[in-house]
Structure 1
């Protein structure tokens, strides 16, 4: 049974036990009946964990059942992304054996093992207007489309919590440049040198793989099409004197997360006549790379963490590192939607990149009037208990390169996990006072 079929089976079991019809569940999930039917039949997979989370709660799933459903979705989504981004195989010429070699023993093809890490999760519903650049008064194209888009925004508004920490039966389950990824590095508690992948220059080839200075091995980085995972060995080797222990964590970083799955803005140097229509969120990394676009005003980053060893790892804190501050470029702002929203404002770690020493500040959320507690360290993560961190960074005054350092402790030692954009720093730029364009569907072009 494939990962998608296993996920669909769990959904059907919960639906049958809950006794709710597809129509009732679809209304609670803010999606269509036909779409929900396709999810339960294995014909489609939710793009966001928010739908899965609301489905589990609507069906009365226990904490253990919600964990199983979450894990099944992560595996199915990772398999889908791997299939979507896998390059076509390059044909290799095979020499034809001579007749006198026909009776030679045939060497068996070695077994190939493909390791696929879980993908991250998306979205928050923005109920307070557009994020990113300060656009001032809504342009005429926005006002004409607002009523029609509001209904569509409800579908995207069912998004997962910014911080999902599944810690067992006693806890409930809550979900520019190159593509997202995770560069792993460790820093021992004794102050040893960082083994994080060295960030490459902004113009480096997207396919380049950063190297771990401690081991000399290449670390995986993301393609422009989706999330990437980077992990330490499943079983940590014995500690080497003078070297920090390997991080017993596997991280999947998504750096192109849109509010409510539809609301975001990018800065791009090209004029509106040369910029293609806005993509859907899943295609945002490739679109932004092609336009050399930068996150405008704000950026949401989501990190899914799994333990790789047999024991639990304690996450102790999150630190923000601003590597560079430049004057924001005088480029155009391109809004990805004509407005959307919903009733869910997830809890996040909010970061003000303009502060002299930016901090990841816990902020509570709200779900249809119900307060969502702010995320708090320490947290526990293991192979069976994933944790999702959501960070929302904003700036009104700089073009900033930044990254996150996640401090962890395990029985094998302690260290720091570097979270960035596939070995490169995350980049967010202020966009105040820049021309703002939205895509006018009736005219098929960008308009102010």
Structure 2
């Protein structure tokens, strides 16, 4: 079954399960019945995934089904753009294949074949033919490792590894890979994982002292990507296809916010405007009091689309809130817009990013939800509102993404440092009195 036929099949299954006619779905999607019929029959493919996303929502599809439909559309779209050229498919595990006489066939990417060393006639029986390469829903790895197979050819396999050099001995990612250098996991994140790319592009440091088996060590300049479902040499690791612009001093309605600072009111300057808040807070060594709003604008860096699958909250440290003063940036403000956000309770044992609907002058704004599609032409803005009433917390966000080049995790923090939000319950609260030109309680 081709990519377009598989995509059309998934659309038909969602439509039949929902029990909706083509006419009813076309009205909901603001498109024609004939166009929708062609999509479901595989005669045409939507030019943008937005139509497919609305289709999945209208049919009541689950987030997992939306991701499957998105992947099928990406493969079909890639094949269409290539003029019928097969879309790349992934290899979840490097497979040992011996090809004594490979037949030439057109391939979209070059295949690296390592020739076996001369072997004694008595040690080799009949050679197995080429086996099928493992396929997956995303992409094809560039390197194919050739090795000896079978219990009777064990000595020949050792000779092949000696001739092929370190390329065949490159460590694989996954539970079955040999021991090698690993990056430490964040507190509470479970088993250790590969390095995480940050929003600023800097990799997280690796703890020293990790043991490793003989094998090549990736160079320090390798792209900081978590490639959890691929096995490849270091030079073939996918690059991060996303860029993030992070605002960590976002005020509610552009005026309502509070900071916690150790200085007394007589030595604290007047409150700034929102745009000058980062410099003001840095000069006062102030931290966010009770609530912190973080706004992340993401866009793709390549020609393809990327799927944001989930967002995880990482709390790196919890301390007793300092006994400092609270400085309110405004005596009260408001507006008709309450944006939809991901709400985070930092006091929870395992904080989650919970979608919350918004309101715009009485009109409901739908709660944000994953998966989300991001490309260079279609940026996505995520708004996260974290609150605490009991801790001085260091925290960050991990965005899990999947794209045609692989998958990974993008770290969202404060320029390479953790975000910091502290509870302010029971602390002295000061507001700025404009008529008096000073802070007052």
TM-score (norm 1): 0.50
Task: Report deviation, 1:195.
Answer: 2.5
- Structure 1 distance, partners of 2:222, 2:254, is 33
Q: Does 1:195 align with 2:199?
A: no
Q: How many residues align?
A: 245
Residue in 2 aligned with 1:346?
339
Unaligned runs of 5+ in 2: 1-47, 55-171, 176-181, 183-192, 207-217, 226-230
Match of 1:311 among 288, 294, 304: 304
- Offset from partner CA, 1:192-225 (integer Å, 9 cap, x none): 74323699xxxxxxx9x87776763599xxxxxx
Residue in 1 aligned with 2:354?
361
Task: Report deviation, 1:240.
Answer: 3.5
CA 1:247–1:370 in 2, change beyond 3 Å: closer, same or farther? same
Which residues in structure 2 correspond to 1:86-235 (within 5 Å)?
190=174, 193-196=193-196, 216-217=220-221
Residue in 2 aligned with 1:406?
399
What is the CA RMSD across the aligned residues, in angstroms? Answer: 3.2
Task: Report deviation, 1:369.
Answer: 1.1
- Structure 2 distance, partners of 1:325, 1:428, is 10
- Structure 1 distance, partners of 2:173, 2:335, is 43
CA 1:244–1:339 in 2, change beyond 3 Å: closer, same or farther? farther
Matched-pair contact (CA < 8 Å) for 1:239–1:245: no
- Offset from partner CA, 1:126-179 (integer Å, 9 cap, x none): xxxxxxxxxxxxxxxxxxxxxxxxxxxxxxxxxxxxxxxx9758999xxxxxxx
TM-score (norm 2): 0.51
Q: Does 1:382 align with 2:375?
A: yes
Q: Does 1:330 align with 2:323?
A: yes
CA 1:280–1:210 in 2, change beyond 3 Å: closer, same or farther? farther
- Structure 2 distance, partners of 1:272, 1:395, is 24
Unaligned runs of 5+ in 1: 1-165, 173-187, 200-206, 220-230, 233-237
CA 1:366–1:211 in 2, change beyond 3 Å: closer, same or farther? closer
- Structure 2 distance, partners of 1:308, 1:385, is 11
Q: Secondary structure at the match of 1:254?
A: strand
Residue in 2 aligned with 1:300?
293
Matched-pair contact (CA < 8 Å) for 2:299–2:375: yes
- Structure 2 distance, partners of 1:247, 1:189, is 17
Task: Report deviation, 1:309.
Answer: 1.1
Pick the structure with greater CA Rg.
2
Matched-pair contact (CA < 8 Å) for 1:279–1:287: yes
- Structure 2 distance, partners of 1:189, 1:251, is 26
Residue in 1 aligned with 2:262?
269
- Structure 1 distance, partners of 2:296, 2:173, is 23
Task: Report deviation, 1:441.
Answer: 0.3
Match of 2:426 among 425, 429, 433: 433
- Bigger relative contact order (CA 8 A; separation at least 6): 1
CA 1:243–1:354 in 2, change beyond 3 Å: closer, same or farther? farther
- Structure 1 distance, partners of 2:349, 2:287, is 22
Matched-pair contact (CA < 8 Å) for 1:406–1:416: yes
Match of 1:396 among 365, 389, 402: 389
- Offset from partner CA, 1:70-118 (integer Å, 9 cap, x none): xxxxxxxxxxxxxxxxxxxxxxxxxxxxxxxxxxxxxxxxxxxxxxxxx
Which residues in structure 2 correspond to 1:280-299 (within 5 Å)?
280-299=273-292
Which residues in structure 2 correspond to 1:3-152 (within 5 Å)?
none
